[in-house]
Amino acid sequence: MANLKEVKNRIQSVNSTQQITKAMKMVAAAKLRRAQDNITRMRPYAAKLASLLQNLSADGEQEESSKYAVQRPAEKILLMVVTSDKGLCGAFNSNIFKATLRQIKEKYQAQFDVGNVTIMPIGKKGLDYFRRREYKMIDDFWNMFSPVSFEKASEAAQFAMDGFVEGRFDHVEIIYNEFKNVATQVLQTEQFLPVKPAEVEAGNKFEVDYIFMPSREDIVVDLIPKSLKIQVYKAVLDSNAAEHGARMTAMDQATENAGELLKELRLTYNRTRQAAITKEILEIVAGAEALG
């Protein structure tokens, strides 16, 4: 049985850890509130832009839209993998890594074997993970969360867009955690390029007739690149909110576990202390009997 000093030191250590995890939970909750507001405001705007993008890209007459919708054999692949900068957020990052490796194995193993799969990590954890494993990487856009900004997301999106147009990439996907609620993050793998054409449901073959001002050409030139950049920005905002939710949940669980461990340690401390007192009493009684 452990002595009193060892148990007391462990109680102090666990108590300090519990205070840290409780503070981290409160910080994550404060950051989550802001991040959740940002992604909630962004989603309707991004969804409408994506809808417009698909409709415009389906029109082959527009060169600006069609160059991002060119369908080529998927020989050169770019995976934009969104992780976090910090840990202590449960399985948030490990789920992304597993999803990325699974995507490569199931869809792009042949391209990977010949060195045609490139990873663009967004977040320091992704950068470290794929760098240690010596994956082919583009490591210029990982620092996107301090702070999150549309300008940083635009630079990463523009790089992928230019690479697609120039033929350096044939297929671009984004892998990230979508924020659903505090306790739930949904893994998403979205096709970024080429742009998917608008889908027409069976029996619903009408087309949306938009009125373009100032002109269709001017709007297409501005809207298509902006919509693609918004798609990346939305994924980053979603991942940011999901990260804080995952960290808040993980720290709450850690705080509860520390509380349970403290109960066990205090019970062990009391038992050890009682055993020591009982032993001292027995020694005193035995000594008194010997003298008698």
Query: Can you identify the CATH homologous superfamily of domain 4-20+252-291?
Result: ATP synthase, gamma subunit, helix hairpin domain (1.10.287.80)
66-76: b or e for each residue (b if 16 or more CB lie within 10 Å)?
bebbeeeebeb
The CATH number for 27-248, chosen from 3.40.190.120, 3.40.1380.10, 1.10.3720.10, 3.90.1150.10, is 3.40.1380.10
pLDDT at 211 over 90: no
Q: pLDDT tens digits, residue range 120-145? A: 999 999 999 999 999 999 999 999 99
Per-residue confidence (pLDDT) for residue 202, from 0 to 100: 45
Confidence class for position 112, pLDDT limits 50, 70, 90 = very high
CA distances from 189 to 96, 176, 178 (A): 10, 7, 10
Q: Which residues contact 220 (CB under 8 A, 6 or more apart)?
A: 56, 62, 64, 65
Lowest mean pLDDT among 54-58, 156-160, 213-217, 282-286: 54-58
pLDDT in tens, 245-260: 999 999 999 999 999 9
Q: Look at residues 138, 104, 144 and name the one whose alpha carbon lies nearest to residue 124.
A: 144
Q: What are the catalytic residues?
A: 89
> Token pair for residue 141?
């856009």
Pairing of strands 184-193, 171-181: antiparallel
Pinpoint the residues of the chain covered by CATH 3.40.1380.10.
27-248
pLDDT reading at 153 higher than 50: yes
The pTM of the full predicted model, rounded to 2 decimals, is 0.85
pLDDT of residue 238: 95
CA distance 196 to 170: 13
Cα dihedral sign, 92-96-102-105: negative
Residue 201 confidence (pLDDT) above 50? no
**Domain ranges in the chain with CATH number 1.10.287.80:** 4-20+252-291
Average pLDDT of the chain is 88
Cα torsion angle, 169, 229, 92, 14, sign: positive
Q: Write down the pLDDT at residue 68.
A: 86
pLDDT at 48 (0 to 100): 83
Kindly list the distances between the CA atom of residue 163 and the CA atoms of 81, 144, 180, 194, 288, in Å, as whole numbers in the listed order. 17, 20, 32, 11, 92
Q: What is the pLDDT of residues 29-69, one digit of tens each?
A: 999 999 999 999 998 988 888 777 666 655 545 555 568 88
